[in-house]
C-alpha cells in the first residue's frame, strides 16, 4: 500500500472516538473552517519541510495534505539551528477567499506570513514581519477589515498582511492572569457580541492550561473569565497532561470544539512522554457568555454530527513515486543531491554529509512515531556506504542500528555518552533492519521508563533478532528537554546508501 498520509487512529466502535485525533509529534494546532471542510496546521521546529497541513470533514479524522513551508525560499534553517529551534506555533486562518498562515522562525528572522488559495499548496514565499515581535503570532480581521496580530506576551499590533507593514509599536494587552507563567498562544475571535481572547498559561509542561478573556472590541479592555483556567490537567492523574495551546472552531452541528496540545506520559516518576505534544479534541459549551470545556479523555463519546473517516494509515512506502510523501521529514533541509527517489528506481537514495546522528547536518528522512507501541523496518543496501534505521529525539538522544558491508551495529547516544551496544556480521548485500517499541503497562519501580526500544535484524524467515534492548525514557522530553517528539527514519553516515522500502505499523 503506497503512501503514509493518514495519521489518525480510528475507533468509532460503540459510539466512541479516540484522542489524540492527530497522534505523535504534532504540537501547537491551529484550525480553521471553510464551509464543510476543516484545515489544521502544527509546529515543525528543526524539521524540513515545515508546518504540516491536515484536512478533515468531521474534526475527528485528519489526513495530511501537504506542508506549508516546503521550499528553501520559504524555510531557511541554518545548519547551526538547534533541535527545538526553527518553526514555532502557526496560526491558520481563511479570509476573503484566501488561506493565511502566520508563524515564527526563531532561527531565521522571526515572524513571517504566507498565503495560498489551496491549503495543499503551493504557498507563497514569505512576507517578513520585522515589526511583529516575539512568538506565537495570531491573525484576525475586524468588521472594517483592519488586521490585528497578537503575540505571546500578550501584545498586539495592527498590520498590513499584504506588505508586512505595522502601524505603531506593539501594545501590551492585559488579558492573562497576573503572575501566571508564560502567557502565550493567543487567538482572538469575534463570537456573538464579544471578542474572545484565548491564551495558554502556566508553561508548556505539567502546569499548562487554557484561559480566556473577552471585550466589546478587538483591542480591549479585556475582562478575564472568572472560571479561568477553563482547561487544565495540572495536579491531576488524568492520562492526558500538559493541556494547552488551544484554538476554537465551530463544529458541523453548530456547536463548538477546541483543538489543543497535550501529552501522554508513561512509566514511573515523573512520567515520561516520548511522542511529543500531540493534537487533541475537546467539546466546548457556553455558559453566561463564556466557553466551558467538556470532557477531554483518550476515549470519548462520538460527536452528534456524521463522521467521515479518511484513508486508513498505510503501513508501507516502496519509494516508487518521484517525490516523497508529505509525512516524510528531514533535518533542517533536504537537498536533492543528498536525497532522491530517482537515482535508483523504487529505492530511496541518501548521500551522506554529516558522519552520524550526532551531527546537525546528517542526512536523515523519517516520520513521526505516532503510537505508544509500534514497529518499523526497512531494507538497506549499504554496498556504497554506511547508514541505518534510527529512533531520534535530538542530536544527543537517539538509538540506531547501522549497516556497513557485512556488519550491523546498534548504537545509543544519551546526553554526552555515545556507546556501541552490540554488533554482528551479516551476509553481503541488502539487509532488513527493524525497531520494536513496546509500551510498559506495569512497573515495579518508580524509575521504570515508559517503554522499551528494541533494535535488530529482520531475518529472511520472518524472525526478528534483537541486538539491543534499551530503556525508552532516555528518548523523552523529560530527559532530553525541548519541544519535539520521536521521529523514526533512515539515515546515511558515509557514502551513499539505498533503501528499498520502509514499513511502519502500530502493534
What would the DSSP string read from start to end of 105-144?
Answer: ETTTTEEEEEEESSTTSPPPPPEE-TTS-SS--EEEE-TT
Residue 10 has pLDDT above 80, yes or no: no
Structure pTM? Answer: 0.96
Taking the domains of the chain in order of start, what are their residue ranges?
27-234, 316-506
For domain 316-506, give its CATH number from 3.30.70.20, 2.40.40.20, 3.40.50.720, 2.60.120.200: 2.60.120.200
Predicted confidence (pLDDT) at residue 11 exceeds the cutoff of 80: no
pLDDT tens-place string over residues 187-227: 999 999 999 999 999 999 999 999 999 999 999 999 999 99
Q: What is the mean pLDDT of residues 276-300?
A: 97
Q: What's the confidence (pLDDT) of residue 314?
A: 74
Share of residues in the chain with pLDDT > 90 (%): 94
Question: What local confidence, expressed as pLDDT, does residue 310 receive?
Answer: 81
27-234 architecture in CATH? Answer: 5 Propeller (2.115)
Decide if pLDDT at 405 tops 90.
no
CA 332, distance to chain mean position in Å, is 15
Segment 67-82 shows an average pLDDT of 98
pLDDT at 5 over 80: no
Task: Give the three-class secondary structure for 439.
Answer: strand
Q: How far is CA 122 from CA 40, 46, 71, 72, 151, in A?
A: 16, 21, 10, 13, 26
| DSSP label at residue 478 | H
Cα-based torsion angle of the residue sequence 464, 466, 471, 474 in order, rounded to the nearest 10 degrees: -90
Active site members: 28, 184
Average pLDDT over residues 379-389: 98
Predicted confidence band at 3 (pLDDT cuts at 50, 70, 90)?
Answer: very low
Instruction: Judge residue 345's burial from the number of C-beta atoms within 10 Å of its C-beta, 0-12 exposed, 13-18 middle, 19 or more buried.
Output: exposed
In 369-486 the beta strands, taken as DSSP E runs, fall at 374-381, 385-394, 397-404, 407-414, 417-425, 431-439, 451-458, 464-471
Q: How far is CA 339 from the centre of its chain?
A: 22
- Please count the other Cβ atoms lying within 10 Å of the Cβ belonging to residue 260: 31
Amino acid at each position: 500500500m503506497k503512501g503514509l498520509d493518514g495519521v489518525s487512529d480510528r475507533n468509532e466502535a460503540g459510539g466512541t472516538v479516540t484522542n489524540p485525533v492527530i497522534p505523535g509529534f504534532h504540537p501547537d494546532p491551529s484550525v480553521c473552517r471553510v464551509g464543510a471542510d476543516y484545515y489544521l496546521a502544527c509546529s515543525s521546529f528543526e524539521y524540513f519541510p515545515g508546518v504540516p497541513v491536515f484536512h478533515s470533514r468531521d474534526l475527528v479524522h485528519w489526513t495530511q495534505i501537504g506542508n506549508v513551508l516546503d521550499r528553501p525560499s520559504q524555510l531557511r534553517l541554518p545548519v547551526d539551528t538547534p533541535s527545538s529551534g526553527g518553526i514555532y506555533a502557526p496560526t491558520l486562518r481563511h479570509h476573503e477567499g484566501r488561506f493565511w498562515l502566520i508563524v515564527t522562525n526563531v532561527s531565521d528572522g522571526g515572524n513571517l506570513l504566507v498565503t495560498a488559495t489551496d491549503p495543499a499548496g503551493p504557498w507563497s514565499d514569505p512576507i517578513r514581519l520585522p515589526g511583529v515581535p516575539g512568538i506565537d503570532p495570531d491573525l484576525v480581521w475586524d468588521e472594517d477589515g483592519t488586521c490585528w496580530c497578537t503575540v505571546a506576551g500578550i501584545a498586539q499590533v495592527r498590520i498590513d498582511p499584504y506588505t508586512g507593514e505595522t502601524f505603531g509599536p506593539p501594545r501590551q494587552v492585559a488579558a492573562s492572569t497576573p503572575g501566571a507563567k508564560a502567557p502565550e498562544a493567543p487567538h482572538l475571535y469575534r463570537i456573538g457580541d464579544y471578542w474572545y481572547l484565548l491564551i495558554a498559561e502556566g508553561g508548556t509542561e505539567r502546569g499548562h492550561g487554557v484561559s480566556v478573556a473577552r471585550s466589546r472590541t478587538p483591542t480591549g479592555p479585556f475582562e478575564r473569565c472568572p472560571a479561568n483556567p477553563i482547561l487544565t490537567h495540572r495536579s491531576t492523574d488524568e492520562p492526558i497532561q500538559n493541556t494547552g495551546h488551544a484554538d476554537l472552531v465551530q463544529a458541523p452541528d453548530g456547536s463548538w470544539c477546541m483543538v489543543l496540545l497535550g501529552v501522554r506520559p508513561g512509566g514511573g516518576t515523573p512520567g515520561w512522554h516520548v511522542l511529543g505534544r500531540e493534537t487533541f479534541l475537546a467539546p466546548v459549551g457556553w455558559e453566561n457568555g463564556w466557553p466551558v470545556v467538556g470532557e477531554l479523555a483518550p476515549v470519548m463519546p462520538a460527536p452528534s454530527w456524521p463522521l467521515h473517516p479518511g484513508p486508513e494509515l498505510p503501513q508501507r512506502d516502496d519509494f516508487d513515486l518521484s517525490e516523497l510523501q508529505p509525512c516524510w521529514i528531514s533535518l533542517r533541509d533536504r537537498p536533492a543531491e543528498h536525497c532522491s527517489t530517482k537515482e535508483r528506481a523504487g529505492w530511496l537514495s541518501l548521500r551522506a554529509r554529516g558522519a552520524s546522528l550526532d551531527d546537525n547536518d546528517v542526512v536523515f528522512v523519517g516520520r513521526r512515531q505516532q503510537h505508544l507501541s509500534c514497529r518499523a523496518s526497512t531494507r538497506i543496501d549499504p554496498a556504497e556506504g554506511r547508514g541505518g534505521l534510527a529512533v531520534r529525539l535530538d542530536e544527543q538522544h537517539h538509538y540506531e542500528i547501522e549497516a556497513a558491508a557485512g556488519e550491523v551495529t546498534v548504537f545509543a547516544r544519551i546526553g554526552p555518552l555515545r556507546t556501541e551496544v552490540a554488533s554482528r556480521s551479516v551476509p553481503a548485500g541488502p539487509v532488513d533492519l527493524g525497531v520494536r517499541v513496546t509500551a510498559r503497562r506495569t512497573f515495579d519501580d518508580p524509575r521504570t521508563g515508559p517503554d522499551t526500544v528494541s533494535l535488530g535484524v529482520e531475518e529472511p524467515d520472518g524472525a526478528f533478532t534483537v541486538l539491543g534492548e534499551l530503556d525508552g525514557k532516555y528518548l523523552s522530553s523529560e530527559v532530553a528537554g525541548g519541544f519535539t517528539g520521536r521521529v523514526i527514519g533512515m539515515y546515511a553516515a558515509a557514502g551513499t546508501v539505498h533503501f528499498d522500502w520502509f514499513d511502519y505499523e502500530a502493534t
